[in-house]
Amino acid sequence: MAIHPDTDIKSNSNSNNNRSSNSRVNPERELLDIDDLHELYRPIKPQIEARLSDFRRIWEKASDVELFRELAFCLLTPQSKAKTCWKAVQRLERKCLMGKVEPSLVSEELVGVRFNQRKAEYICLARSRFDAASLRETLASFSSPAAAREWLVDNIKGLGYKEASHFLRNIGLGENLAILDRHILKNLALLGVIDEVPSSPTKRLYLDIEKKMTAFSRQAEIPMGHLDLLLWYKEAGEVFK
């Protein structure tokens, strides 16, 4: 059964902020409410919709090479800045290092990316994983984005629930999946959706927070994909990826 994009559209303070890491916050320091979110949301909603449309077009039109580029990006992002990781992916492409190459050649191009040697190995392992069946064919075989995420977490070394959700969203398949990085978790705490920011969520806790975020998005009448980019915009000052 083919996977279907997970959409639900009713409708720079520091542009190098990452989509990773962990932190704890005191919710009393800066309380937010739904009205605050909508005040921030209204002027940037067109940007968010345009970005999500870009993501959907990736699944509709992208080659397997282009899909793998997005996977490589998400393998790099833990504890590293998103824009630094994207520049590293672009360097790998320019130098034709996204195919079957030695991890040492990949790691040399991961300038500014933390744990570059380990992540270079992850990229090379992921590349070899799709020798028999393409990345697109593999993803298309699942009945839902959640099922695809489970497979990615179980089979692609270096991908946790956050990174797998991030990858699926970025290729237009996971708008209703939560990308629980430190920025999102911090703001969920400020909004009272969760009591505190966990340092390292287990699978059970991750899925529980995802359910709470989904319920909140319905209450706030801001779709999940919009809410993620909105909260990231609040921290980073731009709509990126």
Cβ neighbors of 162 (< 8 A, separation 6 or more) are: 19, 20, 78, 179, 180, 181, 206
Long-range contacts of 28-35 (CB under 8 A, 24+ apart): 29/190, 30/190, 31/190, 31/192, 32/187, 32/190, 32/191, 33/191, 34/219, 34/220
Closest by CA to 238, choosing from 4, 13, 6, 3, is 13
* Residue 162 annotated to the active site: yes
Q: CA 82 to CA 126: how far, in whole Å? A: 20
* Catalytic choice (81, 83, 119, 162): 162
| Cα 80 to Cα 99: distance, rounded to the nearest angstrom | 23
Q: Are 106 and 120 in contact (CB under 8 A)?
A: yes
Structure tokens given for 155: 């089979």
Residue 234 is a catalytic residue: no
Active-site hit among 181, 186, 228, 234: 181
Positions annotated as catalytic residues are 162, 181
